[in-house]
Structure 1
Amino acid sequence: MRQANWDRVPIEIQSIDAPLSRAAIFLTLTVEAGDGPLAPVRDLLSGLDDLVKSVSFPHLDAKLSCVVAIGSDLWDRLSPRRRPKALAPFQPVIGNPHRAPATPGDLLFHIRAERQDLCFALETLILDRLRGAVAVADEVFGFRYYDARDLLGFIDGTANPTGDKLPASTLVGNEDRHFAGGSHVTVQKYLHDLGVWNAKSTEAQQAVIGRTKADNIELADAPADAQKSHKTLTTITDPDGTEHDILRDNMPFGRPGAGEFGTYFIGYSRDPAVTQKMLERMFIGDPPGLYDKILDASRAVTGARFFAPTAEMLAGVGSEK
């Protein structure tokens, strides 16, 4: 009887389209040098589904899920004979006056649930399994804020693809058939200066974002050679009108006692060049010099790229030597 119940537990591994959750942990790790640390990493990758089940089974209504993604350097150490075609380190974007830095990262764990304690429990188990083999490069506890708003007060994720557009925008296809079904992941941590932001009028804030604050209505685009909004700069469209989407699962985070307020950006894409183009338009501007004015109040402090293989691929990456 217990076995039958266990078989009905959904395997929430590598489910990038898991619904927006109330809580999330974004954990970035670096793997120590040498071959020795690779053994516990391989063991974890091949057994991650069982680890998630062990935490989620008594609490299925909490919808615990985990996506693990692998950075370029670690991929070559784990699976040197075959790698995703577009996998590469994060490329920093140097604008004037703002920049998007590149920071270390070999493994990314995107843990989501309706309960923060389950995210915490899974993270603890992951780190216990990897003890001595990894170092924590970044750890962020995200939370849902009001009706899916960021700490700037605007609803986030409105432009996410839905329906058939979701897999078409986020999952690798026949262009890299050995890794079809996987997804390229870009992450950045932004810290907000709420004093600067809140000094702006609501109208000025709306002009920066490109949407109304109260009801999330999209505002008209600026002329081609004028200052564009965040919404417009992060919309990538080909000359023929084809729009290229990514899936964002951003989450607010913060420690008011430490004066820390931020947004953790995570973007899943079929083609990482789409996300890179968004960042170039934000930090350099379109036309150059007319950068995204949200950056005057939001500073990028991390930047890393990874590839999230399918659950079926994951064990293969972990077992190859």
Structure 2
Amino acid sequence: MTVEPATGPEPQSVLSPLTTAAIFLVATVDEGGEQSVRDLLADLPGLQRSYGFGAPDGRLSCVAAVGSDAWGRLFGGPRPAELHPFEELAGRRHRAVSTPGDLLFHIRATRQDLCFGLAAEIMDRLRGSVTVADEVQGFKYLDVRDLMGFVDGTENPQGRAAVDAVLVAGEDADFAGGSYVIVQKYLHDLDAWNALPVEAQEKVIGRTKLTNVELDEPASHVSLNTVTDEDGEERQILRDNMPFGSPGRGEFGTYFIGYSRTPEVTEEMLRNMFLGTPDATHDRILDFSTAVTGTLFFAPSADFLDDLPEPPAAAAAERPVPHTRTESPEGTGADGTLGIGDLNRSTAP
């Protein structure tokens, strides 16, 4: 069941339940393509309704998010307080790469054809205005397992806890109802992974493979992704990871996508994984899974998309222009006049 915040701007469908199909589209905005992107973002809720109307049981939804480099190109005025480029992490053995991405479209449904149709419409609208950096079609695998054979997403917050963990509130009032989202595409070496005994796999993950029971393993993937605040309370994110792959190409992976009220929670988890902790030099799952992308975005509220801020040029034109009087020696202006009413106008940055 989708949970909406009690008050404040309406979020996008960030809190929608997990689905059986998804498409993740990451794109960069071409020079001169800003207006086409703005037009698409404004029309996106209507496109989603149109494609989903004939299949209400399909639960079609789409979350649009914008990266740090593109925000100032698309919108004038303030920007989300914690929006910044994804920070690359270079550990002793493994690296979390930072890759380009101005736009993220996270399209979900119970049917892949609905995801496909909406993705095709989005790209038709943006053709010539953006360059696709990555496209992944995700699917539900067995009983919500990843391709390594373990249940994924067990610890997602529910209800009010999900709202508190995921949606920006009064700490950044201009962007209340929005959410930060980090995506990473991981490729798995399944031959090496499946060569491990099940018991060894369970120690790496920190859960039993068959029954999904958490184990007491301080250096496990589960432990390294459990972070707490100064009071010992767990800080949570909302994961909507999906398996993807191509057996013909020998490609098997997990698309990680984590929504959070502040990106620092997900970033701390990633630091634990790649840089290590006192209990572990690194997350041992990285010995079998390689991150090939990494990007940070902000998904603004649905109200924000419904009433986009002015573009940067228009917003700048509306700002008051400061006026400073030019003083010249002996009361004369640079052109030899008395300088009465002579103003030196400079445009605000």
Same fold (TM over 0.5): yes
Deviation of the 1:287 alpha carbon? 2.0
Q: 1:15 maps to what in 2? A: 13
Letter in 1 for 2:125: R
| Structure 2: 5+ residue stretches without partners | 1-9, 315-349
What secondary structure sits across from 1:164 in the alignment? Answer: helix
Residue aligning to 1:8: none
Following superposition, the deviation at residue 288 of structure 1 comes to 7.9
1:301 is the counterpart of 2:297: no
Change (3 A) 1:319 1:54: farther
Shift of 1:172: 0.5
CA contact (8 A) 1:41 1:318 kept: no
- Measure, in 2, the Cα distance between the counterparts of 1:292 and 1:18: 29
Residues 230 and 292, structure 1, Cα contact 8 Å, conserved in 2: yes
Over 6 Å off, 4+ runs: none
User: What do residues 11-59 of structure 1 show as CA deviations (whole Å, max 9, x unaligned)?
Assistant: x9821111111100000010002xx311111110111011111111111
Aligned 1:1-321 pairs, distance under 5 A: 14-33=12-31, 36-222=32-218, 228-287=219-278, 290-317=281-308, 319-320=310-311, 321=314
Corresponding residue of 1:225: none
Partner SS, residue 88 of structure 1: coil
TM-aligned CA distance change 1:123 to 1:318, over 3 Å: farther
Count of residues in Structure 1 that have an aligned counterpart in Structure 2? 303
Aligned AA (1:77): R
CA distance in 2, matches of 1:261, 1:86: 33
When the two chains are superposed, the root-mean-square deviation of aligned CA atoms in Å is 1.4
* Percentage of pairs with the same residue: 58
Name the CA distance, whole Å, in 2 between partners of 1:163 and 1:52.
24
C-alpha distance in 1 between matches for 2:115 and 2:309:
23
Shift of 1:316: 3.3
Counterpart AA for 1:151:
L
- What is the CA-CA distance between 1:319 and the residue it aligns to? 4.6
Give, in angstroms, the shift of residue 96 of structure 1. Answer: 1.1
Would the alpha carbon gap of residues 318 and 124 (structure 1) be closer, same or farther in structure 2, given more than 3 Å must change?
farther
Distance in 1 (alpha carbons) for counterparts of 2:94 and 2:66? 28
3-state DSSP of counterpart to 2:296: strand
> Unpaired runs of 5+ in structure 1?
1-11, 223-227
The structure having more radius of gyration, on CA atoms, is: 2
CA distance in 1, matches of 2:152, 2:35: 39
Q: Secondary structure at the match of 1:142?
A: strand
**Residues 116 and 13 of structure 1, relative CA distance in 2, 3 Å threshold:** farther
